[in-house]
Amino acid sequence: MKKSVVFLLVGFAVFLGYRQFAQTPKIRNTKPSGDNIISFGDSLTYGTGAAEGMDYPSQLSRIISIPIFNAGVPGDTTASALVRLEKDVLSRSPRIVLITLGGNDLKNGAPKEQARHNLRIIIESIQDLGALVVVGGIDVPFWGKGFGEIYKQLSDEQEIVLIPNIYEGIMGNRGLMNDRIHPNDVGYTIIAKKFYEAVKPYL
């Protein structure tokens, strides 16, 4: 066999291998049913530190010209969010659900596997209704205790749309933070834009 043919076959095999490993992650419910977009989470969803109307759900709503229900509760953990899931999300005919949860589990010293378990139940319950789930993950350097890993695992297992670290480029920047944990108006604008880029293909 001529060398040129061998090189061609090898090149084709490499190309197929690259295609296999570089495929776009599979997402569940890319054509979601339901009626409403709901932001479900903790103080990052509620908008602690933001002026009125500058929380990320309000800003995102203006970007996409679609109402978004803000179901954020300051201090919420994955466990307390699970308790109110039916009332605040499942009963509202969800079409797309944007989630920010886990930060308070980390702050309170909850085991990351417990947080992962709760998030899995939350995500599956929403997906079972035919809704698309978008998660804003948290990956805090130095004191993150490996919480960033649970979002990557859930992304692979539950086929969600994942923003790996919703705080990236915001936390630690005094011009974007209202306090050590919560963004200011400009910081929330960045979060709104991140969620917009994540959800835009599915609107």
Write out the CATH class of domain 27-202: alpha beta
Q: How do 36-41 and 94-100 pair as beta strands?
A: parallel
So what's the pLDDT on residue 40?
98
If one counts every other C-beta atom within 10 angstroms of the C-beta of residue 91, the result is 9
State pLDDT tens for residues 98-120: 999 999 999 999 999 999 999 99
> Residue 178: what are its φ and ψ, rounded to 5°?
-85, -35
State pLDDT tens for residues 52-85: 999 999 999 999 999 999 999 999 999 999 999 9
| Residue pair 154/120 in contact by the 8 Å Cβ criterion | yes
Which uninterrupted H or E stretch holds 151?
helix 147-158
Q: Kindly report each contact of residues 12-18 with a partner whose C-beta sits within 8 Å and lies 24 or more positions away, as own/partner.
A: none
| Residue 186 CA: distances (Å) to CA of 62, 69, 134, 176 | 15, 21, 22, 6
If one counts every other C-beta atom within 10 angstroms of the C-beta of residue 171, the result is 18
pTM over 0.85: yes
